Amino acid sequence: MKNKYSIRKATVEDAATIFDLATNIWNAHYPSIISLKQIAYMLHTRYAVPVIKKSMLEGERFFLLSDGDVCKAYASIEERESDTFLHKFYVLVDQHRSGIGQELFSYILKNINSDKPIRLQVNRKNIKAINFYFKHGFVIENAQDFDIGNGFTMEDFVMVNFRK
């Protein structure tokens, strides 16, 4: 059976699409986890079109999953010296539990050019995401608080998948 989704590497021309997806997802998913002010701040500092373009030019690889012409999920990775860092992994809220996350995650694994561990950060209150990562072989490495400026803190788990 042919899959109905397409996944491709994003280009700088896709930065506005990624920003729109991020805005939709963050405003639907995160108000029960962090404040609306922190959501707005993080979207501005991490997802503004120039920020996404700069990240791409510095080596962060973004991927988009679409159903026809509609983008439904995105992810980004950066291959570093000691690991591969999964910076972003987001699916439209109305698509949770549809298999899209699994499909995108499998695609990401195929596009990592090494067998180094995969690391990520996830908000400690984001139970759905934490459970998704547990299901995909991640373990909690530690809990950290990250000062992101403007009086905001990310209270995250650092998770790792050793891929052995």
The domain spanning residue 78 has which CATH number?
A: 3.40.630.30
138 lies in a domain? Answer: no
Q: Please report the pLDDT score of residue 1 as a whole number.
A: 38
Containing domain of residue 112, as a range?
5-120
**CB-side neighbour CA atoms (13 Å) of 164:** 3
- In this structure, which amino acid lies at residue 136? H
64 lies in a domain? Answer: yes
Q: How big is the chain by its Cα radius of gyration, in Å?
A: 15
Q: Please report the pLDDT score of residue 164 as a whole number.
A: 62
Q: Please report the pLDDT score of residue 116 as a whole number.
A: 92
146 lies in a domain? Answer: no
Q: How many domains does the chain have?
A: 1
Q: Please report the pLDDT score of residue 3 as a whole number.
A: 61
Q: Are 57 and 15 in contact (CB under 8 A)?
A: no
Pseudo-torsion of CA 156, 60, 86, 11, nearest 10°?
A: 110
162 lies in a domain? Answer: no
152 lies in a domain? Answer: no
Q: Walk along the chain (164 residues) and give the pLDDT tens digit of each residue.
A: 346 789 999 999 999 999 999 999 999 999 999 999 999 999 999 999 999 999 999 999 999 999 988 999 999 999 999 999 999 999 999 988 888 999 999 999 888 878 899 999 999 999 999 999 999 999 999 999 999 999 999 999 999 999 76
